[in-house]
Structure 1
Amino acid sequence: MNSTKSTKNSTLKMFSKESKMLQRSISFSNMALSSCLLLPGDTTVISSSWDNNVYFYSIAFGRRQDTLMGHDDAVSKICWHNDRLYSASWDSTVKVWSGVPAEMPGTKRHQFDLLAELEHDVSVDTINLNTVSTLLVSGTKEGVVNIWDLTTATLLHQISCHSGTVCDAAFSPDSRHVLSTGVDGCLNVIDVQTGMLISSMASEEPQRCFVWDGNSVLSGSRSGELLVWDLLGAKISERIQGHTGAVTCIWMNEQCSSIITGGEDRQIMFWKLQY
């Protein structure tokens, strides 16, 4: 198993889980990378950057394939589903692109077609899709969570529920709820159908990222601590000391049995969940 990580020094690093060794290190630009993901098939990595671009990197050929220059400010987060790229930016937009990156070096670069543009009032810091990619949630620097219908590219709900930047937001597996975290330390649960804030729980510090299986939530703190939240009891049920710096990203496998965390301490940690 391989994992990828984007860092503040504009370098994409690939690690092997088996050997626990750095396999490859690639630098795309002179500005930081904001997020990265591995496309289905495990042959292409996509990275977004503060330099306004999205980069496509071929693992097999060890080179950059494509560069998408689609925003006027930093690209903060990207998602991918069914050959569609979703990019959020500080230029106050979320854009939906259709296109498949080139598969062979030297082949003609693919033309990425803009399918939709979701306009916001301020910069967008995070986005996520529901499991069937019919809904998108976005979070802004002013603490607003937006829920969009992607089939019609229309805004369904706009919820002001954080006192500062929304750090992360995601749908529950059944798409009935949205969870969001922010620099205010709050973890909020929103009803997707009504757009109502169902519950709000607070921690002492900002929660930068999280994963959840619909019941339990694991979030990463600015201090490096991992928090396990009990949504039914509306409380923090467990605290785990993970990193010595802020936890910047969390990934969980589909079986909800393994977790990978990355932090500002330049460490990648692998966790096995116990039930």
Structure 2
Amino acid sequence: MPRSDPTREYAWNQSEENCLIGSIVQDEGHIYSLAATNDLLFTGSDSNHIRVLKNLNEFSELKSNSGLVKAIVICREENKVFTGHQDGKIRVWKSSHKNPRVYTRAGSLPALTDVLKKSVKPSNYVEVRRRRTTLWIKHSDAVSCLSLVEDQGLLYSASWDRTVKVWRVHDLKCLESIRAHDDAVNSVVAAGSGEGLVFTGSADGTVKVWKREIRGKRTAHSLVQTLLKQESAVTALVTSHVAVYSGSSDGAVNFWEMGEKKMLKHCGVFKKHRLAVLCLAAAGELVFSGAADKKICVWRREGRVHTCVSVLTGHTGPVKCLAVAEPSGGEEEDGGDGKLVVYSGSLDKSVKVWRVPRHQM
């Protein structure tokens, strides 16, 4: 059971400074993934459990025998939670309508029925390593990242097997497999139906942009742009309302904006971390970067200039994941105080909760 360490370490003060308001230590494992929705926080670790916290207290747990949980996304419309694992599988969970504390396994991706159906035809097998083949609908290595396009009912999974797969949420069918990179895919971010763009970042040092088309019951993705080619691995991606950001193993963050002819243009790079950037998050004009140097940098955007306005410290291990809770109605629903809740997960086995002003000075 996670213990509070304590639930509230600091009270919010009257100054407009960042504030640590809670820290939860999970003795059972290092934190690799987070997902936040409303008042619930899902935490994934290298143990056999996915913890669900409500107001920093134990609320529920999802029991899995798969070990390391590398990614979590929440599909509210379908009342489903998807988790990506080191064993190459994506597991599906549903909460009970009668008791929201109870989560049960609703299947896995790919579904067993699809595996059996596809396994009959030799043409459904692809080579993944020398003298080793597998079905194209299956990941053959760790699932590193998940991204949901809820208005299209699509789920994207990125893997160390160099592919990105596209899944239909309502029936859990694999629609497409994209051989995206020449090395492990570390991140995938899919934009909504309006843009139809998908961004992938890889250990091969590239960031790629893909265009999604819906063709009947299938999807088709085509490569439209390669944004970055570098020696350092791309380790994290995030999109904001105006830009795309990538974090790298050299500690740098690059960003792009949409330019002429709907092509993305490189607009700069900023760096403060000494070690690899492992996670990124964005909300409004703020960008958050978590790194192997145990720090979280808060960047304020003004035009194309990004200023590090504060550094959140307290973790004793690499910061592996970030999640920002932003009220859906904006500042008015937030009581007008303009504060965000930021969650950070670390390999020190803790999740920390921060209050961060939207308008940093």
TM-score normalized with structure 1 length: 0.86
Q: Give the corresponding residue for 2:114.
A: none
One-letter amino acid of the counterpart of residue 108, structure 2: T
Q: Could you tell me whether the CA contact under 8 Å between 1:249 and 1:261 is conserved in 2? A: yes
Measured in 2, the distance between the counterparts of 1:242 and 1:161 equals 34
Q: Give the corresponding residue for 1:64.
A: 105
Q: How far does the alpha carbon of each residue in 1:56-79 deviate from its partner, in whole angstroms, 9 at most, with x for none?
A: 112225321111133111111111
Q: Could you tell me whether the CA contact under 8 Å between 2:85 and 2:142 is conserved in 1? A: yes
Alignment of 1:18-29 (within 5 A): 20-29=56-65
One-letter amino acid of the counterpart of residue 249, structure 1: C
Residue 162 of structure 1: CA displacement?
Answer: 4.4
Q: Could you tell me whether the CA contact under 8 Å between 1:43 and 1:59 is conserved in 2? A: yes
Which structure has the bigger radius of gyration? 2
Q: How far does the alpha carbon of each residue in 1:180-199 deviate from its partner, in whole angstroms, 9 at most, with x for none?
A: 11111001012344343221
> Pairwise CA RMSD of aligned residues?
2.2
Measured in 2, the distance between the counterparts of 1:99 and 1:43 equals 11
Measured in 2, the distance between the counterparts of 1:66 and 1:31 equals 17
One-letter amino acid of the counterpart of residue 77, structure 1: C
Q: Give the corresponding residue for 2:239.
A: 171
251, 254, 262: which one aligns with 1:188:
254
Measured in 2, the distance between the counterparts of 1:131 and 1:166 equals 23
350, 354, 357: which one aligns with 1:267:
350
One-letter amino acid of the counterpart of residue 52, structure 1: G
Residue 26 of structure 1: CA displacement?
Answer: 3.2
Identity percentage of aligned residues: 21
Q: Could you tell me whether the CA contact under 8 Å between 1:131 and 1:173 is conserved in 2? A: no
Higher helix share: 2
Q: Give the corresponding residue for 1:247.
A: 319
Which contiguous aligned blocks of 4+ residues in structure 1 show a shift greater than 6 angstroms? none
Q: Give the corresponding residue for 2:73.
A: 37
Q: Give the corresponding residue for 2:267.
A: 198
Q: How far does the alpha carbon of each residue in 1:157-211 deviate from its partner, in whole angstroms, 9 at most, with x for none?
A: 113354322121122214xx31111111001012344343221112222221121
Q: Could you tell me whether the CA contact under 8 Å between 1:129 and 1:170 is conserved in 2? A: no
Residue 42 of structure 1: CA displacement?
Answer: 8.2
Structure with larger RCO (C-alpha < 8 A, sep 6+): 2
Measured in 1, the distance between the counterparts of 2:146 and 2:45 equals 15
Unmatched 5+ residue regions in structure 1? 101-109
168, 171, 191: which one aligns with 1:98:
168
Measured in 1, the distance between the counterparts of 2:234 and 2:46 equals 19
Compare 112-121 and 71-80 and name the one that shifted more: 112-121
Unmatched 5+ residue regions in structure 2? 1-38, 97-101, 111-137, 214-219, 331-339
| Alignment of 1:134 onto 2:196 | yes
| Alignment of 1:15 onto 2:53 | yes
Give the 3 Å change call, closer, same or farther, for CA 87–227 of structure 1 in structure 2.
same
Compare 73-82 and 162-171 and name the one that shifted more: 162-171
Q: How far does the alpha carbon of each residue in 1:35-66 deviate from its partner, in whole angstroms, 9 at most, with x for none?
A: 11221158422100010100011222532111
Q: Could you tell me whether the CA contact under 8 Å between 2:109 and 2:172 is conserved in 1? A: no
Q: Could you tell me whether the CA contact under 8 Å between 1:78 and 1:87 is conserved in 2? A: yes
One-letter amino acid of the counterpart of residue 129, structure 1: A
Q: Give the corresponding residue for 2:7.
A: none
Corresponding residue SS for 1:196: strand
Q: Could you tell me whether the CA contact under 8 Å between 2:165 and 2:174 is conserved in 1? A: no
Q: Give the corresponding residue for 2:86.
A: 50
Q: How far does the alpha carbon of each residue in 1:110-133 deviate from its partner, in whole angstroms, 9 at most, with x for none?
A: 451414535322221101122446
Q: Give the corresponding residue for 1:124.
A: 185
Give the 3 Å change call, closer, same or farther, for CA 38–21 of structure 1 in structure 2.
same
One-letter amino acid of the counterpart of residue 281, structure 2: V
Q: Could you tell me whether the CA contact under 8 Å between 1:138 and 1:145 is conserved in 2? A: yes
Number of residue-to-residue matches in the alignment = 262
Give the 3 Å change call, closer, same or farther, for CA 217–2 of structure 1 in structure 2.
same
Measured in 1, the distance between the counterparts of 2:277 and 2:48 equals 23
Measured in 2, the distance between the counterparts of 1:99 and 1:30 equals 21
TM-score normalized with structure 2 length: 0.67
Q: Could you tell me whether the CA contact under 8 Å between 1:74 and 1:91 is conserved in 2? A: yes
